[in-house]
Structure 1
Amino acid sequence: MGAKVSQLLVIICLMISMISAQNADIATLQALKNAWQNTPPNWDNDQDPCSGSWDGITCTNDRVTIIKLSSMGLNGMLPENIGQLTELQILDLSYNKGLSGPLTSAIGDLKKLTTLILVGCGFSGPIPDTIGNLESLVFLSLNSNGFTGQIPASVGNLTNLYWLDLSANKLIGTIPVSNLIMPVGLDKLTRAKHFHLGDNQLSGGIPPKLFNSSMKLIHLLLENNRLTGTIPSTLGLVTSLQVVRLDRNLLRGNVPSNINSLINVTEMFLSNNQLTGPIPDLTGMNVLNYIDLSNNSFDQSNVPSWLSTIKALTTIKMQKTNLDGEVPAALFSIPQLQNVDLSNNLINGTLNISSNPSSELELVDLRSNLIADFTQRSSYRINVTLVGNPICMESGVTDKFCTVPIESPSSYSTPRNECVPLSCGLNLVSSPNCHCALPYTGLFFFKAPSFSSIGNFSIYNSLRDSLMAFFQRTNLPVDSVSLKNPRRDVDDYLVIELDVFPSGGNPEFNRTGVLEIGFALSNQTFKPGKEFNTFVFIHENYADFFPEISATALTRGTKHKSSNAGIIVGSAIGGCVLVLLLVLAGIYAFRQKERAETTPQQSQPFVAALGDPTSDSDIVPQLKGARSFTFKELQNYTNNFSEMNNIGKGGYGMVYKGSLPNGQLIAVKRAQKGSSQGGLEFKTEIELLSRVHHKNVVGLIGFCLDQGEQMLVYEYIVNGTLKDSLLGRSGIRLDWMRRLKIALGAARGLQYLHNHADPPVIHRDVKTNNILLDQRLVAKVADFGLSKPLSDADTTHVTTQVKGTMGYMDPEYYMTQQLTEKSDTYSFGVVMLELITARNPIMKGRYIVREVKEAMNKNEELYGLHDILDPIIGLSNQLKGLERFVDLALRCVEDTGNQRPTMSEIVKELESIMELVGLDPNTDSASSTCASYEEVSKDYPSSNDSLFSRNEGSLPME
């Protein structure tokens, strides 16, 4: 009897314990709800979270085991209470940028956690040591946050770990490995296949002990840190490796000779270090696709013969590696070869591309070598660049290979199925299946693709197909996907935009659909294939749209009880909404009819008006000094618009280089036929530029309105855009002195537009792509397609719908639609920050203004900005005046216009800074005491169609 009573007491105790644990889980979820803003609406009900009524929560036996809240727009901190969910196995809070503050040490109490994913949030502070308590953890992704401090050595306790991603944070210190004092480190993670530690601030050497033959590692990503010392020979022991990225560090010494033991490596990046000794012999690495050894100080040697033996190569990058001799013709016959960059070496003799080059070969870049001759064949469709070689230095040379090619962005987007795209309203987009819907959107960052050509559309089509197959296989509610705008970013990652459209004819995903898609991409369930390798997906927060979507969409798939009163109220509201929609539809149809009737006039905004004396004066362009060219004249000046003279392509049309009879070089911007938007820009630019004349504003020479053509004729600006030079595309080295000169020149151009043009002009699209550099690096403001003149009635602002480029756009203008001169000031402030960092305004979800403010410490030299300054800008002792420059830039990007300086005030302050550093602000040349004019002249010119067309980054919202 006593035994039975004891058993009964045990059962009762267990039941009480279970009930207590269940109540604790519910209390913890309530604590999460109280700590966060923008939680799912159904978290406000009084039902049990484990009944399936709370989005993102999954329970087993009434205990919370899964929390998946990806892409919900959550704001707040992760409270300590999270540690009480002791049965939790999966925690995914990815893509909630509003989740910030430190990662609580209570995270270490989740002993059953197998998956922890916090990709693309706003967490900061050190990663807690307690992370090492999660001994069941298999998947750890803390990338794309703001974590600081060192990598905890306790991570080495996670012996079941498969995936470790700490990239794109602000981690410092050395890579932890085990030793007598600390018995754990990353070397203990022998089951891990992924070490993603790039884009941090890690320092010290790569520990030899980090690698051993027991490891199963396939991806080693340590790029863009501050690692020093030599590459350890133990790296050659990890023969499972497939991708190795050690680029953009401070590594030195010889590359270990056993590196060719890595016979499974497909991509190897060792570029932008200080490596010396012989060029590594990679013989036997027969599956190698992509090799980049650029910008190292290897011993002078011939182009390696082993390159021709690796038949899988698609990309060879050995820029500035001390190569000499001739390039073997056999190199170009590698079957899959796409891109060869051997620029800035000592290669000489005759360039002979074999008679049977690879059918995939697109680019051979041998600029700045010693090549004296080139055996050409008319059948080549290869872009060969020999700028800076003796063959191009003879007078009168006009061969196409003696000009710097313009890298045109890929125009790829997923083709539509056999249907007619719809015109969708609000935030909706026409899907590839021609359904109007709100897509789940974001960016893929592929860190080690096997190919270099971004123009291979078949590869993107296969990626789309594999994505759709994945979504169908996992039963996710996806109708179609769209990929578009593939490009290389400043880190040489391949970036592709993704849109995912809902199935079932729904206009939007419900929350469950968003959660599942976000989790599928954040936890790397989707495998993109060997061509793309490892990736990071960063989502644009879908939850931000929910307030604009119907209440029905928010609750789709869930059942709620409602009273009759609720039904009556709902019906009444629905009826009102229906009437309102009918009225709006009628107005829309009437306006569409009016627009259709006026389309012919808009497509040719003032062609007819020029010959009609009765035409409205608002339509006729007010031309002052611009010359009218005939079509035949421009045809002659551009060699019949030949392909050789084509120097760019934009949304407006083609741009051609030409020469007037007096020898003056011109750039002819030729509109595409039937482009109504181009016609409006044409009218704006011709009216504005014909009235403005300033050395810091690009000069309009004339126009053509002949034979149905619309063309603008500009002075030819040889050194392209400021953006190109900051990104290293133009070959021009911009030191601190030159950048000051360029900033002052651009400021003076804007000052002229604001204060001296008649009428005054607001540019509305100030950015580094719209600042051009002439042969003496004098800055010229360009591209007036979005500009607005100020009339007498508009003394303070112009009320207009928003246009511009994200990242440069004035937030006050964006919110109020009131465009002022201070809107240009804000954009110029962003340009100033770009000048000192050479970073894009928005990169990987990080905004340059916020990055500078967060990194800045006025108590330190150069405000403590060493980590984000462009290394090319010069040494610390050469950056006199930089603090004042930063102060001025941050005044320009104040939130409200009344706190920002005028362009006149900016010009005065920049002139004062230049005088402080010993420069004459009134000289035209951008050469400096550190870089003579002769240096400028040998920096090779480049062309860019940004002068002549609105860039892809522009945001037309009108």
Structure 2
Amino acid sequence: MGTRIRQFLVIICIKFSIVSAQNSDHAKLQVLRRTWKNTPPTWNDGSDPCGGSWDGITCTNGRVTEINLVNMQLRGNLPDDIGQFTELQILDLSNNIGLTGSLNSQIGNLRKLTNLYLVGCGFTGPIPGTIGYLENLIFLSLNLNGFTGPIPASIGNLTNLEWLDLNGNNLTGSIPVSNETTPGLDMLTKAQHFHLGDNQLSGDIPPTLFNSNMTLIHLLLENNKLTGTIPSTLVLVTSLKVVRLDRNSLRGHVPSNINNLINLQNMFMYNNQLSGPIPNLTGMSVLNYIDLSNNAFDQSEVIPPWFSTLQALRTIKMHKTKLGGQLPAALFRIPQLQIVNLSNNRIIDPLNISSNPSTQLQLVDLGNNQIGDFNQRSEYSTSIGLILAGNPICKESGVTETFCSSTTKSSTPYSTPRNKCVTASCDSGLVLSPNCQCARPYTGSFFFKAPFFSSLENLTIYSSLHDSLMEFFQNAGLPVSSVSLTNPTRNVDDYLQIKLEVFPCGEPIFNRTEILRLELAFTKSSFKPPEEFYIYYFIPETYNFFPSTKHKSLNTGIIVGLAVVCCVLVVLLVLAGMYSFCRKEAAERAPEQSQPFALWDPTSGSGDVPQLKGARSFTFEELQKYTNSFSEINNIGKGGYGMVYKGCLPNGQLIAIKRAQRGSAQGGLEFKTEIELLSRVHHKNVVGLIGFCFDQGEQMLVYEYIVNGTLKDSLSGRSGIRLDWMRRIKIALGTARGLQYLHDHADPPIIHRDVKTNNILLDERLVAKVADFGLSKPLSYTDMTPVTTQVKGTMGYVDPEYYMTQQLTEKSDTYSFGVVMLEIITARNPIEKDRYIVRVVKEVMDKNKELYDLHEVLDPAIGLSSHLKGLERFVDLALSCVEELGNQRPTMSEVVKELESIMELVGRNLVESSSALASYEGASKDYNYPYSNDSLFTYSECSSSTKLHPK
């Protein structure tokens, strides 16, 4: 009897503990709901989270095992409670840029976690070492955040890890390897992916990082600060298919036995300082993409024999590698060859391109070599782009051959073929699909890191990608009717970028569950593209779940009823008009201070009303309609003034609406004065005011919507836009011109008072626009003396003289702009770890050395040091702007003149070295120099997001 009682009590205790654990999970989910903003609406219905109704939550036996909240516009941080979901196996919070702060060390308590995806969020600070406790982890993706500090050595403890992606952060230090006391990445023998590119890793590549037990297929270390030689141990990892070591400072010989990597398909080593002989690639039978450009190899007088033997080659780039000798005709007969770039070398006559070259050959760039004759002028197919500019053959008088041009014909951007549709347009917010259906597509962009091809004109390849997408969606049971692929381009990282639209089946709009399934398909890499496309990541755009307004016909009864109502309204309006007339004089005597907008009709021509010069008045109902009732989906930010929403006017123009918080709204007269001031500001480098709303107690300002976000987003990498040196100078010059306009030409002159990279926006052509006049101070033409006012601004940008004296002048903006200039070249915050950027630059710089010896603090994404012409003058100008005393700083007009001079110098240098620019950052002749093609930053209509990273 006693035994039965004990068994009964044990069962009761077990059941009680299970129920207790379930309740604990429910409580922790409620903590997440309160901590994060913009959680799914289903989280607010009070139901059981494990009952299947909470979007993004999966439970097993009443315990939370999966949290999948991709691209939900979540905002907040990762609370301590996240570590208490002890049964959690999958955590995916990708593409929520509003999730910020540090990665909570409590993440190490999730011992059953197998998949951790935090791609494209806003996390900063170091990656906690506790992540090494997640012994069951298979996928670890922390790419496209702002993580700093070293790679934790404890990651080496994750012996089950297959996928490690830390790409696109600000990680520093060396690559950790194991020793007697600490683990390292060399212990990850099951890992197939090391994606560590686009960081600031330094030091040598450790020889012990590689061993023959590894199963690596992708080694991505591009765009770091790595030095030393390529370790010979690399060839031990014979499973490698892709190696990216480009854009580092590697030196010395390429390992002589590199051709032991017989499975290698893509090799990127361009823009290093590699020396010695050109590597022997004989026997690498599956190698299809090779780029060794811009290295310091020994001068060669003979073309390497492997040139014509690698029958899988599609792309060969060896620009500026001291290559010499005669090209074998067999090279051009390689069956799948598409791109050949051997410019800026010592290739000599005779040039013999086969009479039957590869049918896929698109471009042969042999510019700036020593070719004096080309006997096949008349035979050579004009469908293949040949460049011989800079060779002796093109220096003869009267030469008119097209191949003596440094450019080739531009290609027509690809887009998925569409059926011949009867209708040519859809309702607002809907798009015509390839199948002639009006729907709202799910949109985003693929970024393929190592495609097998360079040509952007191979229609068969895109058709293959299209078919594989449709097959994937059908097998996954997703309601997808069609997909569209458009505008393939190469970005500055030499990644292939393709825009994707996915159209729903049946209904014109996807529901939240369907969108979540689509998001997860890409963040977890469930979709496997065709072999030619290989490694990718996907950046989705915000999806608008609100349906378009549908107009339905009215029946006769309703029409009759409306007619009666209208008659009654007419009578009431007549009576109201008579009453209003009687009260008119009393209303006109009401103080203007109490109702400053009472007589304001911006549409009238009366001289008594303010002249708004184009700004219009909106009603509250209009702006409510344009923003889907100020929905959280349309919320794109928050400032001191209040919330900022994205909206869409009936004509399709995107707008940004700053809605004041009730507590922060200013008096009506002050608001009216501010609108009058802003309506006079018209300049290409200043964000334009479209209108305002002063209705139902609301105060709102309506601006043009700037598609590429803030300069801060681009410098930090959050936007996905890479800024080269010339583009940074142009952005600085545009900002300076905007400030000069405010100081010298606005009526009245304006001091911005909050100049910072978060208040500089970039439009679709990356033109800089000064924004946010919430702290601006107008001046009088008759009194240009300093204004005594309360100190306002952002720490790190505030003029110290203004801070000490409270005397505000236009030189205060100059100081803030100087800080912005330093931020432009370093991509660092004004204050990091209690260190001020002005002091850091001054301590590091040495004016007696090239580039002032600032390599340590320069943003690695800015480009090669050899291309930074004018950097010293740029730094000198920045430091003159941040002088302690305002009278020692230049005016903004003087700043503009100096920046124009610097840009002219840089532009002249680029023209003189135009052939070198063709391969700068790995560029090829099949796409333009970075940012010379505005299509890289296309304008989106109201139906889709305009940012690479949603907010």
TM-score scaled by length of structure 2: 0.66
Matched residue SS, 1:319: coil
The CA distance in 2 between the partners of 1:327 and 1:377, in whole Å, is 20
Spell out the pairing of 1:899-910 with structure 2 (5 A cutoff): 906-910=892-896
Give the direction of change, closer, same or farther, for the CA distance of 1:33–1:946 in structure 2 (3 Å limit).
Answer: closer
What is the CA–CA distance in structure 2 between the aligned matches of 1:429 and 1:323, rounded to whole Å? 51
Q: CA deviation at 1:350?
A: 2.6
Report whether the alignment pairs 1:870 with 2:862.
yes
Match of 2:488 among 479, 486, 489: 486
Q: Contact 2:731–2:766 at 8 Å: present in 1 too?
A: no
Distance 1:755 1:379, change over 3 A: farther
2:767 to 802, 808, 814: 808
Aligned letter for 2:238?
T
Structure 2 counterpart of 1:898: none
Alignment check: 8 A CA contact 1:50 1:62 kept: yes
CA distance in structure 1 between the partners assigned to 2:429 and 2:828 by the alignment: 27
On the 8 A contact 1:422/1:436 being kept in 2, the answer is no
- Equivalent AA in structure 2 for residue 14 of structure 1: I
Distance in 2 of aligned mates of 1:296 and 1:57:
51
Contact preservation (8 Å) 2:521, 2:527: yes
SS of the residue 2:498 aligns to: strand
Question: Does 1:955 find its partner at 2:939?
Answer: yes
Shift of 1:857: 1.8
Change (3 A) 1:299 1:947: closer
Residues 213, 237 of structure 1: 8 Å contact kept: yes
Tell me how far apart the structure 1 counterparts of residues 83 and 933 of structure 2 sit (CA, whole Å). 55
Distance 1:808 1:740 in 2: 11
Letter in 2 for 1:955: Y
Query: What is the deviation of 1:477?
Result: 2.3
Query: Deviation at 1:741?
Result: 11
- Gap change, CA 1:21 and 1:178, over 3 Å in 2: same
- Number of the residue aligned with 1:533: 534
- Tell me the residue number matched to 1:4: 4
Distance 1:389 1:463 in 2: 39
Q: Secondary structure at the match of 1:344?
A: coil
What is the DSSP-based 3-state SS (H/G/I as helix, E as strand, rest coil) of the residue aligned with 1:204? strand
CA separation in 2, counterparts of 1:396 and 1:834? 50
Q: Which residue does 2:519 correspond to in 1?
A: 518
Distance 2:11 2:191 in 1: 42
Aligned residues of 1:338 and 1:452 also touching (Cα < 8 A): yes
What is the match of residue 662 of structure 1?
Answer: none
Q: Which amino acid aligns with 1:525?
A: S
Q: Secondary structure at the match of 1:330?
A: helix
What's 1:788 paired with? none
What is the correspondence of 1:271-350 to structure 2 with a 5 Å cutoff? Answer: 271-301=270-300, 302-350=302-350
Distance in 1 separating the partners of 2:512 and 2:471: 22
Matched ranges for 1:649-798 at <5 A? none
The amino acid of 2:118's aligned partner reads L
Query: Residue 100 of structure 1 aligns to a residue in which SS?
Result: strand
In structure 2, C-alpha distance between the alignment counterparts of 1:366 and 1:290, rounded to whole Å? 18
- Computed over aligned residues only, the root mean square deviation of the Cα atoms, in angstroms, reads 4.4
Q: Which amino acid aligns with 2:323?
A: L
Residues 370-385 of structure 1 mapped to structure 2, 5 A cutoff? 370-375=370-375, 376-380=377-381, 381-385=383-387
Q: Secondary structure at the residue paired with 1:352?
A: coil
- Residues 701-760 of structure 1: CA deviation (Å, up to 9, x unaligned): xxxxxxxxxxxxxxxxxxxxxxxxxxxxxxxxx999x9989987998999999999xxxx
State which of 446, 457, 460 in structure 2 corresponds to 1:455: 457
| Counterpart contact for 2:464–2:530, Cα < 8 Å | no
1:882 matched to 2:868? The reply is: no
Task: State the Cα deviation string for residues 321-349 of structure 1 (Å, max 9, x = none).
Answer: 11111211211111111110011111122
| Pair 1:369-2:361 in alignment | no
Q: Does 1:240 align with 2:239?
A: yes
Query: Would the alpha carbon gap of residues 906 and 383 (structure 1) be closer, same or farther in structure 2, given more than 3 Å must change?
Result: farther
* Distance of aligned partners of 1:67 and 1:435 in 2 relative to their CA distance in 1, 3 Å threshold: same
- Kept in 2, the 8 Å contact 1:96–1:541? The answer is no
Q: For the structure 1 residues 856 and 369, does the alpha-carbon distance in structure 2 shift closer, same or farther, using more than 3 Å as the test?
A: farther
Q: CA deviation at 1:934?
A: 11
Query: Structure 2: how far apart are the matches of 1:947 and 1:872?
Result: 16
Please give the per-residue CA displacement for 1:894-922, whole angstroms capped at 9, x wherever unaligned: xxxxxxxxxx96442233679xxxxxx6x
Report the Cα offset of residue 21 of structure 1.
0.5
Paired letter, 2:209 = L
Q: 1:41 aligned to 2:41? A: yes
Shift of 1:222: 0.9
Asked if the contact 2:737–2:896 (Cα under 8 Å) also holds between the matched residues in 1, the reply is: no
Note if contact 2:734-2:767 (Cα within 8 Å) is conserved in structure 1. Answer: no
1:194–1:861 CA distance, 2 compared to 1 (3 A): same
SS at match of 1:120: coil
Structure-2 residue corresponding to 1:439: 441
TM-score, length-scaled by structure 1:
0.65
Aligned residues: 692
- Find the aligned partners of 2:46 and 2:916 in 1 and give their Cα distance: 69
Cα pair distance change 1:295/1:837, threshold 3 Å? farther
1:2, CA displacement in angstroms?
2.1
Asked if the contact 1:441/1:539 (under 8 Å) is kept, the reply is yes
- SS of 2:321 mapped into structure 1: coil
Post-superposition shift, 1:851? 8.0
Kept after mapping to 1: 8 A contact 2:480/2:504 = yes
Cα pair distance change 1:853/1:311, threshold 3 Å:
farther
Contact 1:885–1:910, Cα closer than 8 Å, also in 2? no
Deviations 1:617-675 (A, max 9, x none): xxxxxxxxxxxxxxxxxxxxxxxxxxxxxxxxxxxxxxxxxxxxxxxxxxxxxxxxxxx
Q: Deviations over 1:452-490 (max 9, x none)?
A: 101111111110110110011111222211111000000
Structure 1 residues 101 and 200, CA gap change in structure 2 (3 angstroms): same
Q: Distance in 1 between matches of 2:909 and 2:143?
A: 43
Higher relative contact order (CA 8 A, sep 6+): 2
Matched, 1:163 2:159: no
Partner secondary structure for residue 464 of structure 1 = helix
- Classify the secondary structure of the residue corresponding to 1:369: coil
Q: Distance in 1 between matches of 2:31 and 2:47?
A: 15
Note the residue ranges of structure 1 that are not aligned, 5 or more in a row.
Answer: 553-570, 584-676, 678-733, 757-801, 816-828, 840-847, 891-903, 915-920
SS of 2:335's equivalent in the other structure is coil
State yes or no: 1:67 paired with 2:67: yes
> Which AA in structure 2 matches 1:908?
E
2:501 alignment counterpart: 499
Residue type at the aligned position of 1:480:
S
Which structure 1 residue ranges, 4+ long, deviate > 6 Å from structure 2?
A: 738-756, 829-839, 848-856, 875-878, 887-890, 931-934, 936-950
- Counterpart of 2:499, as a letter, is E
SS in 2 for 1:859: helix
CA contact (8 A) 2:251 2:274 kept: yes
Q: Kindly report which structure 2 residues correspond to 1:14-93, keeping only aligned pairs within 5 A, or say none.
A: 14-93=14-93
- The alignment partner of 1:351 has SS state of coil
For the residues of structure 2 that align with 1:285 and 1:20, how far apart are their CA atoms? 60
Aligned counterparts of 1:948 and 1:261: Cα–Cα separation in 2: 40
Q: Is the 8 A contact 1:186 1:210 kept in 2?
A: yes
Report the secondary structure of 2:482's partner residue. strand
**Secondary structure, aligned partner of 1:483:** strand
What secondary structure does 2:372 align onto? strand
Shift of 1:420: 3.8
Structure 2 partner of 1:253: 252
CA distance in 2 between partners of 1:484 and 1:138 (Å): 34
- Aligned to 2:838, the other structure's residue is in SS state coil
Rounded to whole Å, the distance in 2 between the matches of 1:59 and 1:228 is 48
Q: Distance in 2 between matches of 1:927 and 1:116?
A: 44
Q: Compared with structure 1, are the counterparts of its residues 197 and 441 closer, same or farther at alpha carbon in structure 2 (3 Å cutoff)?
A: same
> In the aligned structure 2, how far is the partner of 1:447 from the partner of 1:833?
34
Does structure 1 retain, via aligned residues, the 8 Å contact 2:70–2:93?
A: yes
Cα pair 2:332 2:358 within 8 Å, conserved: yes
